[in-house]
Chains A and B, each alone.
Chain A
Amino acid sequence: MEVNNRSRILIIGLWAVIAILLGRIFFIQIIDSSYKRDATNNSMVYETVYAPRGIIYDRNGLELVGNKVSYDILVTPREVRAFDTLALADALGVDTSFVNERMAYYKKYRSRIGYQTLTFVKQLSVEQYLKFAEMQYEYPGFRGQVRSVREYPFNAGGNLLGYVNEVDASDIEKEPDVYRSGDYIGKTGLEAAREKDLRGSKGYHIFLRDSRNRRQNSYADGEYDKPAVPGKNITTTIDAPLQQYGQELMTGKKGSLIAIEPSSGEILAMVSSPGIDVDVLSDIRSHYGKLVMDPNKPMFNRTVQASYPPGSVFKLINGLIGLQEGVLEPYYEYPCSQGYYYTTNRKLGCHNHRSPINLTEAVMMSCNAYFCYVLRNLLENKKYASVGEAFDRWREYVLSFGFGEKLGSDFPAELGGNIPTSKFYDKYYGKGRWRFSNVVSLSIGQGEIGATPLQIANLAAIVANRGWYKIPHIVRDSTQTEYSEKHYTLVDTSQFSKVIPGMWLAVNGGWGNGGTASMASVPGLDICGKTGTAQNPHGADNSVFICFAPKDDPKIAVVGYIEGAGWGGSYACPIASLLVEKYLTGQVSRPELEDRMIQTHFIDVPAN
Chain B
Amino acid sequence: MSRQIDRGLKNTVDWRLVIYYLLLVLIGWINIYASIHSSEPSSIFDWSCRSGKQFVWILSGFAIAAGILFALSPRLWEVISGPAYFFVVMLLVAVIFVGAEVKGSHSWFRFGAVSFQPAEISKITTSLVLATYMGKAAFSIYNRRDFFRVALMIGVPMLAIVAESETGSALVYVGFLFPLFREGLSGWFLIIILIAVLLFILTLKTSVWISLATVVVGALAGLWAILKSFRPLSRERRRALWLMVAGVAAAVMLIFSTRVVFDNVLADHQRKRIEVLLGMKEDPAGVGYNVRQSMIAIGSGGFWGKGFLQGTQTTYGFVPEQSTDFIFCTIGEEWGFFGCLLVIVLYGLLITRIIKDSERSREAFTRIYGYCLASCLFMHLFINIGMTIGLMPVIGIPLPFISYGGSSLWAFTAMLFIFISLDRQEKKYF
Contacts and interface: CB of A to CB of B under 8 A. Distances in A.
B337 A10 contact: no
Q: Is the interface of A mostly helix, strand, loop or mixed?
A: helix
Interface stretch (A171-179, A207-215, A248-256): A207-215
Contact of A209 (B300, B303, B316, B390): B316
A43 interface: yes
Interface residues of A, number: 40
B78 to A, nearest CB: 22
A35 B316 CA distance: 16
A28 B293 CA distance: 13
Contact of B316 (A18, A34, A111, A211): A211
Interface in B321-354: 332-333, 336-337, 340-341, 344-345, 347-348, 351-352
Given A21-B344, A25-B332, A44-B312, A35 B298 contact: yes
B318 interface: yes
Nearest to A216: B39
B340 A25 contact: yes
Contacts of A293: none
Contact of A28 (B298, B303, B344): B298
Q: Is the interface of B mostly helix, strand, loop or mixed?
A: helix
B contact residues, range = 35 or more
A7 B374 CA distance: 11
A137 interface: no
B382 A36 contact: no
Contacts of B378: 14, 17
Nearest to A38: B296
A80 interface: no
A549 B296 CA distance: 74
A87 B201 CA distance: 55
Contacts of A14: 348, 351-352, 355, 378
A60 B336 CA distance: 62
B359 A4 contact: yes
A7 B389 contact: no
Contacts of A39: 296-297, 299-300, 312-313, 333
B181 A10 contact: yes
Given A21-B391, A25-B337, A35 B39 contact: no
Contacts of B389: 21, 24-25, 28
A196 B332 CA distance: 45
Contacts of B182: 4, 6-7, 10
Contacts of B315: 208
A11 interface: yes
Contacts of B319: 211
B348 A30 contact: no
B359 A7 contact: yes
B181 A1 contact: no
Contacts of A600: none
Contacts of B333: 39
Nearest to B337: A29
A508 to B, nearest CB: 80
A28 to B, nearest CB: 4
Contacts of A4: 182, 359
B348 A18 contact: yes
Interface of A: 1, 3-4, 6-7, 9-11, 14-15, 17-18, 20-22, 24-26, 28-30, 32, 34-36, 38-40, 42-44, 111, 114, 208-212, 216-217
8 contacts: A10-B181, A11-B355, A21-B391, A28-B298, A29-B332, A36-B299, A211-B293, A211-B316
Interface of B: 39, 178, 181-182, 187, 285, 293, 295-303, 312-313, 315-319, 332-333, 336-337, 340-341, 344-345, 347-348, 351-352, 355-356, 358-360, 378, 382, 385-386, 389-391
